[in-house]
Structure 1
Amino acid sequence: MPASIILFDLTWAAPDCPPLFSRLNLNFGPARTGLVGRNGVGKTTLLKLIAGELCPRSGSVSVVDTLGVLRQTVQVNPDETVADLFGVTDALAVLNRAERGEATDEELADADWALEARVASALGRVGLETRPETLLTTLSGGQRTRAGLAALVFAEPDFLLLDEPTNNLDRDGREAVIELLAGWRSGAIVVSHDRELLETVDAIVELTTLGATRYGGNWSAYRALKTQELAAAKRDLADAEKRVADVARSAQVTAERHARKSRAGQRKGEKGGTPRIILGGMKDRSEDTSGGNARLAERRREEALEAASAARERIEILQPLTVRLPPTNLPANKTVLKLDAVTAGYEPDRPIVRELSVTVIGPERIAVTGPNGSGKTTLLALVTGQLSPWAGTVQVLTDFAVLDQRVSVLDPATTIRDNFLRINPRADEFACRTALARFMFRAEAALQTVSTLSGGQLLRAGLACVLGGATPPPLLILDEPTNHLNIDSIEAVEAGLRAYDGALLVVSHDESFLEAVGITRRLELQP
């Protein structure tokens, strides 16, 4: 399979910063490749280098085919239309003049009579119902993402570069992107944390601070290989720890043997009969042997300890987070939330939620789903008291906590530790550090200022502070918790929520996440 994109000895760094990549070598052929890695490792930067938007410090980027690039956010001008995004505004204007009988003979000769149908087909492939003259500013963020993807499909590039294409999309939008990539038969590099989307790729490239590793197959195949790596690392650790014990035991046996010989020689010397010069030589040789044995034992001990440390580091990287939380003691038959015939909105005579009735009993796990604009955020605002209903009643009958995308429950100016003690005023220092350690904030990591945390660390810190106390709140409300998180962070959050025994109310379009946290019921809202 010929390579369409070749990265050779690629090194890149921001000014006055250490290299993000160093001597990176990769190639991409006409296949679909998922690019994964932790936040900040350089996935988006790598796409920009391939697209020619950044220049490497050293090394080279060779691109054989034409590229189509989808950004994380589609920036628009106030008067920009869908047709402008497709680059067909002038060509459509010619067709409009032709319909009115105003086109010149030259324009008629060059007119693309199938253009409108091709534009409509591209929009249809991403599930977007709109017209070419629609202003982009009138579309939601998710709709603009779909329009940008449709423009790429329309341009028919040889290679797609997609940066988080399903972020901010509702369920229909995500399914349209997943279906598009599943049917794409040319090359593509997809930066994504969407595991459902990554199931459609042919290979996974994992980017780390140490470089890049390619794994054949889709996301499930990649995870299976990573599981094998974890098992191998655990075997290596067991072997290394056994070696440490064996070296210590061998050193002890050698030392005891040497001590016995020394005592025997000393007794023999005390009895007399051996010339002093010979005794001196025996003593020197004994000391040399003892010193040599000690140095050899120390070298073997250091090698064994180094191997054990390396194995532990691999396990620390590969081992999924597991969390144990105190129980909420929420009874199975207790009503924690009740909405009765609620109608609400933000503008008079334009209700977003209409006659909605919902009851949450016991530790139910409810997913709030629906297309963009169906009222999911409005529902959370009603439950949390940020919005009052126009009609009907909202009753929250237990303590609750909210984690939104900004994790606003945390004070960004203080440390994780200080936030924990503020949210859990009865906790002492030991309980605080123990709880934070469960969420991988150990020792100095607990003293990080919240404003310096990545998105994944921020949400993990929020979970630690809210759920790590002696008695977590019986109701937890989450608003799109996986947006902008890398997959490691998502899986860490999933582990924390699986250990939580309270009620969950979750707004999310991420089906893999909803399945992982054990959703028991769905509330589907309609616009």
Structure 2
Amino acid sequence: MPASITLSQISWATPDGRPLFSNLDLSFGAERIGLVGRNGVGKTTLLKLVSSDIRPESGTLSVSGSLGILRQSVQVAADVSIADLFGVTDALAVLRRAEAGEATADELASADWTLPARIAAALGRTGLDAEPQTPLAALSGGQRTRAGLAALVFAEPDFLLLDEPTNNLDREGRAAVIALISGWRAGAIIVSHDRELLENMDAIVELTSLGATRYGGSWSHYRERKALELAAAQHDLADAEKRISEVARKAQATVERQAHRDRTGRKMAAKGGIPRIMLGGMKERSETTGGDNARLAERLRAAALDEANAAREKIEVLQPLSVRLPPTGLSAGKTVLRMEGVTVGYRPGDPVIRDLSFDVTGPERIALTGRNGSGKTTLLSLITGELKPWAGTAAVITGFAMLDQKVSLLDPSASIRDNFRRINPHSDENTCRAALARFMFRADAALQTVSTLSGGQLLRAGLACVLGSAPPPLLILDEPTNHLDIDSISAVEEGLSAYDGALLVVSHDETFLESIGIERRLELAGGDLVG
């Protein structure tokens, strides 16, 4: 029986009672599906439903075939290795004992001598050069993502469920993952905002507040079809609204003509000469005609309203994200950040960064680049004071704010609103609400607990709290586009383009870096600055 996933009449609501899916119908076969939609619309939730991490409130879900699941972050314990992730630790131990002449007869009979080559092939398909015994804790976030994806490929599931698989990956890693997906011939459901990856899909499924819609073909084809459908729906809505106005205009004209006839009849009756029985008939006919006209007008109006509502149902009413930053007043000659001869690491004698020196002066826009594991996160920890240098000095000479990949400046147990007031203690309630509204957290949405937010919503909340009131002269962003939907990325690009402070950005998204006007690149390689 062919592998398949079928969702029928699925309904599910968030813990606070907000309906996310209602009577959702979807089916997937041996195809690569890109799952897209705005932040918070339920993309990750849909993957959790398919993987049985959560249960639907109603409806049925059927999965025929095996699943391989890659979540947004690969959680690791200190003693877990790549071999553990692959589930081959014991099998590799048997091979080692066999090579040393210590294996039992039963172990020799079950030994899989192809295992090392198959592990190496799986790691190679994701561009990861590492040994099976390598601890996952020693890998960067991007390297762990590649290791997790390699483990899935090794297991050869019928379906891959991938949640933002190119997040945190350097250029080489992204290229390897895109190549892997391009050649994948089984099923795959991939949540992503990576346009290059989405170009390799067989179909796009868009989730909106209206439900799910499938578009055959790649990302470009989806965008073309979506634009045509929206234009058609907007045209239908305009026509329906025009008909509503026309019905109202004609109904008013009919009422006015009937009123004119009634006034004429009353004047004639006042002059006399018309028998009373005829006057009664005229009045009755007038009332009947007026009632018939009103009922006809109401029927026409109701039909036009139904057409308008049907057109509106095809258009998701979206309130765009707006990022407008007040000026910081940072002068061109002011030194913002200074690193002099810095060396630092986590284990004595094994520095991650060696003798690093650079300055940031005035409103410079700098991209911090390098392969996964090159020391970018370590450098950010130095700048923010989380790490102390072994040698040299690291000094931030102005106010700054940093948004790391986990948005750890937010208290997960507090609401977005309370986080904003804590981070911006001088802002009043009106300023707080206005700032949050610009980042699409209006009214009760601002009262959501941070721990309940999706990845994209979490990043928007962090941006709102840092940028919504008085942005600092130095802004440090670590992979800011990782969890944002494409429309939100565009809005952030527009806002940062107008920002007059200094920017230090870690990102592998070249389109984003170009859009925000990066002026200088600092590339780390093996703990050294090469650019």
* TM-score normalised by L of structure 1: 0.81
Residue 482 of structure 1 is matched in structure 2 by: 481
Task: Give the match's secondary structure for 1:235.
Answer: helix
The residue that corresponds to 2:524 in the other structure is: 525
Output the amino acid matched with 2:255.
A
Residue 33 of structure 1 is matched in structure 2 by 33
Query: What's 1:272 paired with?
Result: 272
Which residue does 2:239 correspond to in 1? 239
Give 5+ residue unaligned stretches, structure 2: none
Preserved CA contact (<8 Å) 1:323 1:499:
no
TM-aligned CA deviation for residue 128 of structure 1: 2.0
In structure 2, do the counterparts of structure 1 residues 96 and 420 end up closer, same or farther at CA, with 3 Å as the change threshold? closer
Counterpart-to-counterpart distance in 1, 2:336 and 2:392 = 17
1:165 matched to which residue of 2?
A: 165
Alignment RMSD (CA, Å): 4.1
Amino acid corresponding to residue 504 of structure 1 in structure 2: L
**2: CA distance between counterparts of 1:492 and 1:313?**
25
Contact kept? 1:421, 1:432, Cα under 8 Å: no
Alpha-carbon spacing, 1:157–1:229, altered in 2? closer, same or farther (3 Å):
same
Contact 1:415 1:447 in 2 (8 A): yes
Q: Deviations over 1:186-228 (max 9, x none)?
A: 3222233433332322211223454432111222322333333
Q: CA deviation at 1:343?
A: 1.0
Q: Partners in 1 of 2:362 and 2:100 — Cα distance?
A: 66
Contact 1:170 1:509 in 2 (8 A): yes
> Aligned equivalents of 1:206 and 1:291: distance in 2?
47
Distance 1:249 1:295 in 2: 15
Q: State the distance in 2 between where 1:489 and 1:232 align.
A: 24
Deviations 1:447-468 (A, max 9, x none): 6566665443343344345444
Indicate the residue corresponding to 1:343 in structure 2: 342
Contact 1:342 1:394 in 2 (8 A): no
| Aligned-partner Cα distance in 1 for 2:19–2:158 | 30
CA deviation after TM superposition for structure 1 residue 181, in Å: 1.2
Partner of 1:506: 505
Report SS of the residue matched to 2:212.
strand
1:63-462, aligned counterparts within 5 Å? 63=64, 65-75=65-75, 79-103=79-103, 111-208=111-208, 210-301=210-301, 304=304, 308=308, 315-317=315-317, 321=321, 326=326, 333-335=332-334, 337-345=336-344, 351-360=351-360, 363-384=363-384, 390-392=391-393, 394=395, 396=397, 400-405=400-405, 407=407, 413=414, 416=417, 419=420, 423=424, 425=426, 429=430, 435-446=435-446, 453-462=453-462
Q: Would the alpha carbon gap of residues 194 and 253 (structure 1) be closer, same or farther in structure 2, given more than 3 Å must change?
A: same
CA deviation string 1:332-360 (max 9, x = no partner): x5556343535153656655444444454
Q: Is the 2:366–2:520 Cα contact (8 Å) retained in structure 1?
A: yes
Amino acid at match of 1:145: T
Q: Indicate conservation of the 8 Å contact 1:125/1:176, yes or no.
A: yes
Q: 1:274 to 1:307 in 2, by over 3 A?
A: same
Where 1:419 maps in the other structure, the secondary structure is: helix
Q: Which amino acid aligns with 1:126?
A: T
Residue type at the aligned position of 1:100: A
Query: Structure 1 residues 230 and 142, CA, compared in 2 at 3 Å: closer, same or farther?
Result: same
Q: Which moved more, 1:202-211 or 1:355-364?
A: 355-364
CA contact (8 A) 1:7 1:60 kept: yes
Quickly say closer, same or farther: Cα 1:409–1:144, change in 2 above 3 A. closer
CA contact (8 A) 2:140 2:373 kept: no
Q: Distance in 2 between matches of 1:310 and 1:437?
A: 29
SS of structure 2 residue aligned to 1:188: strand
Q: Distance in 2 between matches of 1:297 and 1:498?
A: 53
Q: Is the 8 A contact 2:366 2:519 kept in 1?
A: yes
| Aligned partners of 1:343 and 1:351 also within 8 Å | no
Deviation at 1:487, TM superposition (A): 4.8
Q: Which letter maps to 1:339?
A: R
Q: SS where residue 525 of structure 1 aligns?
A: strand
Contact 1:424 1:465 in 2 (8 A): no
> 1:523 is matched by which residue type in structure 2?
L
Residue 137 of structure 1 deviates from its aligned partner by 4.4
SS at match of 1:252: helix
Checking the alignment, whether the CA contact within 8 Å between 1:71 and 1:163 is kept in structure 2 is yes
Q: CA deviation at 1:140?
A: 4.2
Listed as ranges, the gaps of 5+ residues in structure 1 are: none
Is this contact kept in 1: 2:170–2:370, CA < 8 A? Answer: yes
**2:131 counterpart SS class:** coil
| Contact 2:168/2:479 (8 A) holds in 1 | no
Q: Percent identity?
A: 65
Deviates more, 1:187-196 or 1:512-521: 512-521
Change (3 A) 1:459 1:292: farther
CA drift of 1:368 comes to: 1.9
Query: For residues 57-101 of structure 1, what are the alpha-carbon distances to aligned partners after superposition, in whole Å with 9 as ceiling and x for unaligned?
Result: 5434141x4443334444556654433433434443443344334
TM-score, with structure 2 as normaliser: 0.80
Measure, in 1, the Cα distance between the counterparts of 2:397 and 2:461. 25
Going from structure 1 to structure 2, the CA distance change for 1:15 and 1:357 (only over 3 Å counts) comes to closer
CA distance in 2, matches of 1:53, 1:425: 42
Kept in 2, the 8 Å contact 1:11–1:19? The answer is: no
Q: Alpha-carbon deviation of 1:7?
A: 0.8
Q: Deviations over 1:131-180 (max 9, x none)?
A: 22334444444433322322222233343232333344444433332221
* 8 Å Cα contact 2:363/2:502 also seen in 1: yes
1:5 is aligned to 2:1:
no
Distance 2:353 2:407 in 1: 25
Give, in angstroms, the shift of residue 385 of structure 1. Answer: 5.6
1:123 is displaced (CA, Å) by 1.6
Deviation at 1:5, TM superposition (A): 0.5
Alpha-carbon offset, residue 107 of structure 1 = 5.4
